[in-house]
Amino acid sequence: MTASAAEIVLKLSHIQKRFGTLLANNDISLELHRGEVLALLGENGAGKTTLMNILFGHYAADSGTIEVFGKVLRGSSPGEAIAAGVGMVHQHFTLADNLTVLDNITLGTEPLWQLWQDRQRSRQRLLQLSKSFGLTVNPEARVGELSVGERQRVEILKALYRDVKILILDEPTAVLTPQETESLFTTLDKLTQSGLSVVFISHKLQEVMAVSDRVVVLRSGQVVADLPTATTNPMELAELMVGRPLPQTTRTPLSPGAPVLSLQKATVQTAEGRRLLDAVDLTVRQHEVVGIAGVSGNGQTTLFNLISGLVQISSGDLCINGQPCDRHSPAAAIAAGIARIPEDRHHTGLITDLQIWENLILEHHQEPPFSQAGWLKRRVAAAHAETLIEAFDVRCPSPYATVRLLSGGNMQKLILGRVLSQNPRLIIASQPSRGLDLGAVTYVHQQLLAARNRGAGVLLISEDLEELLTLSDRLHVMYQGRLSASLLPHAISIREIGLLMAGQSFA
């Protein structure tokens, strides 16, 4: 994509924003040109989200100015930003599932006092936009029935329908198959050729290299780099983001040991008979990471809950450490050496209103050395917490700090400390690096591989194909509750995985 430097469509000058003692944006200035894709990178807490919320009118800057096509914005509301030609597609879509595509796109675009909607005219305009930019959708389809990729098309069309000239995309490929990602990039190429400018926020550096013309890197609320994409590389960008060289994650080949998990024809169905898991065959052995790829909502959560003891198998066999589990439960799972890293660390991984030391003994607080004769030994628990805080580099004031005050990365380190300190035989990790910055992602990956090297089996459920291909010894693809045959990461292409994720070529 070729950017035109002749026209500056967006100019942020000396933006500063403070939340109490935290300086989120510190004298940030940047420019966006017509027809350009500008990648905005930075670790969690670097200031990206705050800056985009200021641009889109959710926050007001303490100082500095925003100019869109030469006009200064007051930064008072999203309505002002949209009227100026700025649109934003959030990572988590803002669509009404019970409405049609057409209703979602036109919602809020017509005067309240208008007595009727000219649906035919709106439909024709939507179809023309859809055809022009390769964003195929059915205007009358209900959004709740669409795939993730189709919903993203609706979000982009919703912005284009409002005549935006600047489009902010926040982690746009996070839940897409490789084919849907390719389709998105083709659309972006058409959009920029038509003159639209894009701010592309992503943590996937290979995609940044493929789609952007220029990269701006934020660190600790400041711009630390502004450079043409053609002059840099993923390793340099990663170092700019974290301020230091990142160690490479390497998986050493090992011979797998005895099975720690075995599912044979495992089926889970609802009371109405709908199959959430459909005759799944899966084995995880010691010294191996088995990856599960798939678009969200295809049975991964049910698989996690089944192994954790939160749901019961309807038919088939579940064996842990070679022993059949007819009546599996969370307590039985813990006793069998199963450790869980849930995908939602805030709601199911931790109790955020409790203190750090309390969270670190949640699954074993009734056992020695933390309990004796029914009494909780707080000093022992606090000392245990201090040991894990140091070992897992958790940035916190003390073991007595409330968990909700920690960053997402430090919360994940807490869960890792609790999980790995028990020397588990099986680790089920669901989206273990979701929402984490590069430094924290590297740390999580190293800890999982270290556990695998010590003899644990790891079941890794992730929507991040780079993560799966980096860590997995074998992988499967899950689609509508079914599991593909075992695949070797080095013997299958990203495209083939993507076809399986979309249900094509699925055996």
Calculate the alpha carbon distances from 445 to 39, 122, 247, 430 in Å.
Answer: 25, 48, 11, 13
Q: Is 365 helix (H, G, I), strand (E, B) or coil?
A: coil
Q: What CA–CA distance (Å, rounded) separates 350 from 408?
A: 11
pLDDT at position 470, please?
Answer: 93
Pairing of strands 338-341, 37-42: unpaired
| pLDDT number for residue 2 | 47
Outline where 148-248 has alpha helix (H): 148-161, 178-193, 205-211, 234-242
Q: 30 with 62: CB under 8 angstroms?
A: no
CB atoms within 10 A of CB 397: 10
> How far apart are alpha carbons 89 and 154 in whole angstroms?
10
What does the alpha-carbon distance between residue 44 and residue 241 come to, in Å, rounded to a whole number?
Answer: 10
Return the HEC string of 77-107.
CHHHHHHCCEEEECCCCCCCCCCEHHHHHHC
One-character DSSP codes across 414-468 = HHHHHHHTT--SEEEEESTTTT--HHHHHHHHHHHHHHHHHT-EEEEE-S-HHHH
Give the mean pLDDT per block of 10 residues along the chain (507 residues): 67 93 92 96 85 89 94 84 88 84 84 67 90 86 84 88 90 79 88 93 90 95 96 94 86 95 96 92 98 90 94 94 88 92 88 93 83 84 92 88 85 91 94 81 92 97 91 96 94 89 77
pLDDT of residue 310: 93
Give the C-alpha separation, 346 to 172, whole Å. 23
Tokens at 245, concatenated: 């060289």
- Amino acid 261 reads L
pLDDT given for residue 4 in this prediction:
45
**What pLDDT does residue 117 have?**
67
Give the span between the Cα atoms of 217 and 240, in whole angstroms: 7
Q: Where are the alpha helices (DSSP H) in 327-437?
A: 330-335, 356-360, 378-391, 408-420
Q: What domains, with CATH codes, occur in the chain?
A: 8-242 (3.40.50.300), 259-501 (3.40.50.300)
Scored b (16 or more CB within 10 A) or e, 427-446 reads: bbbbbbbbbbbbbbbbbbbe
Which two three-digit tokens encode residue 180?
A: 């849907």
Bridge partners of 219, per DSSP, are: 222
Q: How many residues does the chain have?
A: 507
Q: How many CB atoms lie within 10 A of CB 263?
A: 22
Which whole-number Å values give the CA distances from 386 to 43, 382, 423, 469, in the listed order? 26, 6, 18, 34
Residue 112 has a pLDDT of 56
Determine the Cα–Cα distance for residues 410 and 362; give it in Å rounded to an integer.
17
What are the angstrom distances between the C-alpha of 132 and each of 20, 85, 93, 139, 380? 47, 19, 23, 15, 66
Nearest by Cα to 351 from 153, 342, 505: 342
Residue 278 DSSP SS3: strand
Contact 257, 286 (CB under 8 A): yes
Contact 143, 99 (CB under 8 A): yes
pTM summary value: 0.77
